[in-house]
Structure 1
């Protein structure tokens, strides 16, 4: 698929905004996937290309956390494997969904995730007693979240953090830190499958990677200076506008 310069600039800008907002409030996938779909990228390729740029972001965050010893490889390795396996399964499943059905499912899932994203309460910072053993958590919750990420993706980091707090009793900061390498595991697993399936738009993906890097850098300079609730509303608004444009095009055709 050939991309006009204007389209690449649009995807670069969308990824920049997503990277900026994702750094501050999460939910960047609610911008990048609709941007790809609106740009005319087929649904399956939109998911695959999004994995390319999101893998780069989650991988960078994970590397820095490991380097700074905020998280530890030995502790997280089995959890990453569980999330990885689930994501592989989810990505394989989505390859067999009809393109027309997927074209309907993606916007529907994005609207559901957008509704969750805007209404989800902020979690408490304090740790509590675990409601689920680590063994059960690894064998059930992580693979299920991995399957979701392999099939769709947006909101996975938030789901992992919420699960860590509500089910494992972790404090929010630690749960958020652990969510980064787990999300990288699901992203890279899905990306590998999409690459073998030939569902990556490389030029668009690289343009978005640059945008993500710039947006994340900008976001890091505004950390704690912007109200996350306002950003959540803005993210959902942008998502819904682009989905509305997508459906308008579908009806017009």
Structure 2
């Protein structure tokens, strides 16, 4: 499905992917932009989700590479957590066709608004690491697989939940939390994509085209995030959470 689409729709998909990559690399929530546009382009819901996972891989990979190259995340040290996020996402995607998601759709806007309020009003929210509330081992064996499972099962807000976990539980500064969020989000995207690819619900041409745009947008977003730090990440995260909550309420 590529030549069947009008040029303006293809350009809209490309622009949406670039913007989503930019926003997602800083605050998460890129699917808020791309999934509705894919649906607008005429994709079925399951095709939109599958194609979104493919193009999202490029954005999260791009952001992860950018942050890792500047020393904000140790890929080797975080590999076990990434693997658990991958496994959790595969299981979640597999169950997505079986379990009803109505309760998630009802509860998610409330949770996202709560996250927005947390980041908006929590004092001393900066790039400095603080005391951890959960040890690294316990955090690693619980949060990555749980949120990976959620990403495969449903998806919206995964980046925001990861940010909250890294800041509120692991005690990371905002920039460090963003870098680690992108790594785990990439791993969970790979898991969800693997399931959707096997199920045959991915539009490869559109997904790869959007993926290139995602990659470029994420490079720009990650560069700005590392330059501006919490001054950019914090307000964009708050706005993204509120926008995603509003979108879900509208749906």
- Relative to 1, partners in 2 of residues 1:239 and 1:6: Cα closer, same or farther, differing over 3 Å? farther
Contact 2:85 2:184 in 1 (8 A): yes
1:16 alignment partner in structure 2: 18
- Relative to 1, partners in 2 of residues 1:214 and 1:68: Cα closer, same or farther, differing over 3 Å? closer
84-93 vs 158-167, which deviates more?
158-167
User: 1:114-125 maps to which residues of 2 (within 5 A)?
Assistant: 115=113, 118-122=116-120, 124-125=125-126
2:87 alignment partner in structure 1: 85
Equivalent residue of 2:46, what SS?
helix
Q: Measure the CA separation in 2 of the matches of 1:231 and 1:145.
A: 18
1:212 alignment partner in structure 2: 214
1:153 alignment partner in structure 2: 155
2:76 alignment partner in structure 1: 74
1:149 Cα offset (Å):
0.9
Task: Write the deviation string for residues 145-165 of structure 1: whole angstroms up to 9, x where unpaired.
Answer: 001111232322222121112
1:42 alignment partner in structure 2: 44
Alignment size in residue pairs: 241
Q: Measure the CA separation in 2 of the matches of 1:158 and 1:14.
A: 20
Task: Compute the TM-score of the two structures, normalised by the length of structure 2.
Answer: 0.78
Contact 1:145 1:160 in 2 (8 A): yes
2:191 alignment partner in structure 1: 189
The RMSD of aligned alpha carbons is 3.3
Task: Write the deviation string for residues 197-226 of structure 1: whole angstroms up to 9, x where unpaired.
Answer: 111111221232233234335546765497
1:59 alignment partner in structure 2: 61
Equivalent residue of 1:121, what SS?
helix
1:118 Cα offset (Å):
4.9
What is the aligned counterpart of 2:138 among 136, 142, 160? 136
- Relative to 1, partners in 2 of residues 1:231 and 1:86: Cα closer, same or farther, differing over 3 Å? closer
Equivalent residue of 2:47, what SS?
helix
1:188 Cα offset (Å):
0.8
- Relative to 1, partners in 2 of residues 1:28 and 1:93: Cα closer, same or farther, differing over 3 Å? same
Q: Measure the CA separation in 1 of the matches of 2:247 and 2:137.
A: 42
- Relative to 1, partners in 2 of residues 1:29 and 1:161: Cα closer, same or farther, differing over 3 Å? same
1:89 Cα offset (Å):
0.7
Contact 2:57 2:211 in 1 (8 A): no
Q: Measure the CA separation in 1 of the matches of 2:56 and 2:72.
A: 21
Q: Measure the CA separation in 2 of the matches of 1:136 and 1:204.
A: 40
Contact 1:13 1:211 in 2 (8 A): yes
User: 1:89-100 maps to which residues of 2 (within 5 A)?
Assistant: 89-96=91-98
Task: Compute the TM-score of the two structures, normalised by the length of structure 1.
Answer: 0.77
